[in-house]
Amino acid sequence: MGRVALVTGGTRGIGAAISVALKDAGYTVAANYAGNDAAAQKFTEQTGIKTYKWSVADYEASKAGAAQVEADLGPIEVVIANAGITRDAPFHKMTPQQWQEVIDTNLTGVFNTVHPIWPGMRERKFGRVVVISSVNGQKGQFAQVNYAATKAGDLGIIKSLAQEGARFGITANAVCPGYIATEMVMAVPEKVRESIIAQIPAGRLGEPEEIARCVAFLVSDDAGFISGSTVSANGGQFVV
């Protein structure tokens, strides 16, 4: 059995591709999800990957979930904080609820996911943390004040964790996907999607597997000296 990897939001979209890529690379993968039992069941049937239901927005549930994964599979050595949501609205129409839901999932959710696992990584002197941020956290986005704030905040988290984890053999990095062909993006009206693609120099959406391969490299032994970095995978849409 390989190292145990936890992927939050690991049953659909980018997270599902990450779960599969890590399994193919020899990791024992636990895929977390929030509530879509049908999608999780289908994912397990297709991949054989074990799934675990809890909301990353809930600290106690995240702590109990991580403990359950460790009881079932062994110490979590790799964690991919991927779960994320959007609640888009122009700022003047954004409700406090839309703001808070996105903060709770995309920003506090990263704290809730990594914090319970961190002490074990420090003790074992090995760990890999990857957060899935977004191009929109790097550049901002109309109608995404909440989302962009969380994704920019996620970059602050990994830069700080990189400094705290370094002498314990723990790396922390972020991947900032551009627009990727998942349900989240395919749900927008076709006209809007066409205008999005027009802004991408590569002339296409990214594939979830292209993000998964970045993650697989960042958690590998070969990437042991890479920490605090941001990998932009956006088809040239935004150059930092």
Residue numbers at the binding site for ligand NDP (CB under 6 A): 8-9, 11-15, 32-36, 39, 55-57, 82-85, 105, 132, 134, 177, 179-180, 182-185
- Taking the C-alpha atoms of residue 91 and residue 142, their distance in angstroms, rounded to an integer, is 8
- Choose between 73 and 175: whose C-beta lies nearer to ligand NDP: 175
- Does the annotation mark 147 as catalytic? yes
- Choose between 166 and 196: whose C-beta lies nearer to ligand NDP: 196
- Choose between 166 and 197: whose C-beta lies nearer to ligand NDP: 197
Return the amino acid letter for 216.
Answer: A
Return the amino acid letter for 212.
Answer: A
Residue 14 Cβ vs ligand NDP, minimum distance, rounded to whole Å: 4
- Choose between 126 and 231: whose C-beta lies nearer to ligand NDP: 231
* Candidate list 27, 33, 52, 147, residue with the active-site label: 147
Residue 36 Cβ vs ligand NDP, minimum distance, rounded to whole Å: 3
Residue 120 Cβ vs ligand NDP, minimum distance, rounded to whole Å: 21
List active site positions.
147
